[in-house]
A and B are shown apart, each in its own frame.
Chain A
């Protein structure tokens, strides 16, 4: 059974099936059934994959490989390893919850809305499963289309401008990535004699330092904009503010992981030398992002902006964990991707609930809701604490692993990042206290009290938080082999001590790719212009 292909194609099928649904009230019911079957089916498949996953295998598992155009090196190539496993699971869970919530209260044009959600799911699933650069790129771009429509058609006031900016800005980044992908394949062909886009095969190719650096830079810019890494986050506030809040939740919970995933899947294993050169600059940007996002969240006028900027800060921690080239930090980063997805989704769900009684979203417009909404107060408290990573929460487990690892490599970066933890307490308490505590400042608590449909979204998320807080090993343990392998090349490039490198780096370049005797050996240094090296 081609499990992973099914994971990608089932939501796509669901989206296409919406075309067969008639318009009108009867169609809404049908559309719901289609959407729930597709998203629920994906979730079930995902659960089976998690169950069958072999934790001791470092490489991709469940590979589905179909050659497309062999001469051009194109193929359908998907699979899963310890890193993508949890991102696929996160995507499946989040979209299942989102589609459930959407079905509970359908917006206008329900068929299109649900179809777009399913397309977005298919895009993200494909992105996290792709084992091939071209496929990765196709999904990277494809995912933008449903999000473009979701924001553009169902978003708030001023959305046209925001979507244009979001799409064009991200596409500028992706164009550079396309150039980098093409360059990677051609340069690798020069070295090995094979034209391939397979990430597995490219991982062993010995690019020169300069090649590695430039190609990595092209990828990095695309990832940085998508992430977003400070200061490339220009699109984020408007997109998060104007998207329908369900979509905002998905952007923050799932799509924001695409950039980080790119670094970990492509950046580090394929271009270790380039990654090594950019590691410290990216780390510094991440730390600036942590402080910057936290300060802006502290002063943000609206709830959505506050959560949006807090998300910027949290992603700073995650990317910092990746560029430390430390197994522990990277494991923390993967754990934190899952945690951040869960927590930020819950945070936006709560903002959505409060917006029922405070439609203008302003923080200073509400207050004292705890009095009439005790359930909301309790759930919101748990989510706030998870968001500010109180010791004992799931986020703390992630941040602790990240920072322990970062500290081992670059103590100063970890110490600077710690300042962000204080700010997190300040801004999250500001949000929680001004909404829930103090004297009543407008807003009807009874309207904001959690109803069954809110609890249906929030309780699974909280259960996941508690589970991870109690036993993060469930997540972390499955990532060990894959992360050790993914990080090892960068660790070698960065001259890390032997005892930190836990996986043997594959023959470099792989023996079968070595040029035969008599083949012209490509001159690697002479034709390269003398670029300045950072």
Chain B
């Protein structure tokens, strides 16, 4: 039974393995002997509908931000206001605040805004990235009506000492330095990462939003970021593991105006400081795993807009957020066929913002607690079923329970063909700005709620020198009480539970690794079809009913090819973003409210040399190979063809 348990071949483990091989093969040719891979996925993971980021993509984008990685290598839609500018992520046609991001269990979503700026998370500081779709996110937390992004640091227990350094020089005055030092033994380890990057970001573009139209360079768009991540892992005994993580980052960026701006000189700047820490103790008793975690996520933001020529400051706001996260979780095995998870969370958010020009702002303290219990059961040889319930409490009120149930079925048609499905209810608490912003915050807001349904078919096949896998997902979600801001008679905007949204669609992800002669070839392609429509209109003059939500493409796809041999490698990446509407009632003929589709292609060429135990690599990248002019957000120019040179040293 155990050998055949769930013979869940591939996808993650094999893929990860082969990806590593692909990396290694950049240094040397490796012949893979035939191996029989029998892998059993723990039953509490068998039902999860998710996708993992592969190591090739992460290595290519190590010096870039998470927004750039996800835009090119996932089915998540990234809405970016420019290179280095605010970038948010949307899963399956939902809002940015419906995407929750967890860094080693600590939620990174701003309690004030509800969303995460993905441009401020460097890929360098993360070891593993996975995406949980729809209801699969409920085991990590509530509110991810679209999905969740998990960022994990796992600690490298291999070897006693390692050092790596990436140095990047790129177009538009871009420099980046990324270093990592890991040391220790099998009892205690330290892993330190330091990073810094800056860019003048003054790329040229054709300004079509002014008259007469003219070639310009983007001004006021520079940025500089730096940070440190320190991890310490300690294993006092076989059944205990302690980890401490400390991540501090400072970022400063100029905010460029819209392309149509021709006003008086302006200086618009945003400074962000973030501190995230976590302390985790994992115990491995005979019956399962217990983990206790406590973390803090604090941020300070200063935003101002100066008109120096006219001698006044239009905005000057400072905000502070401090969030405490505490979690106790127990994974309990009930024999070989059952598994139970129990989790309790207590979070505390203390946030405030003040505009110093108008002397207006708010402060608020919010306490949240939640309890989660889930049970997983293997039924027969082919079925795994689960049931989960989460109960939350916020600011003295209990929310309705959030249940989720689902299955995984090993189809008898092949060795690795799995059908998975789940049905869930989820709630997303209003952000503190939605509730308390002055003016317009609405303390009477109800949580947004959704019913999510997911169906997934995983298939894979492997033979000598070839791995092939694919996933087809179909989803539907109905979100009610969606919070929107609408203007009031007082000419300010107020948050209200306004919209009902029906989101449905499907995505396909295909991947293959194969040995062709002396080459290792990795191929991936994905396509996402997303229909996310407004269903909550009442008035006959409201013509947004049934129309696609703004900035959500119906069609999007990615493709990726990596070819490597004797340390040489060539990588071609493609990202297609379909037409997007910029106004809720616009149709196909409304040419002023439509952003045209675009296809971006990047090309990476590189060589890695082995020098004893050390390695050195050089990579040349052409971004936007075909010099496509496009806009991801209206009136925000994006860079045309640009280049980067990266030197990597590993000891």
Q: Do A and B bind each other?
A: no
Residues of A within 8 A of B (CB): none
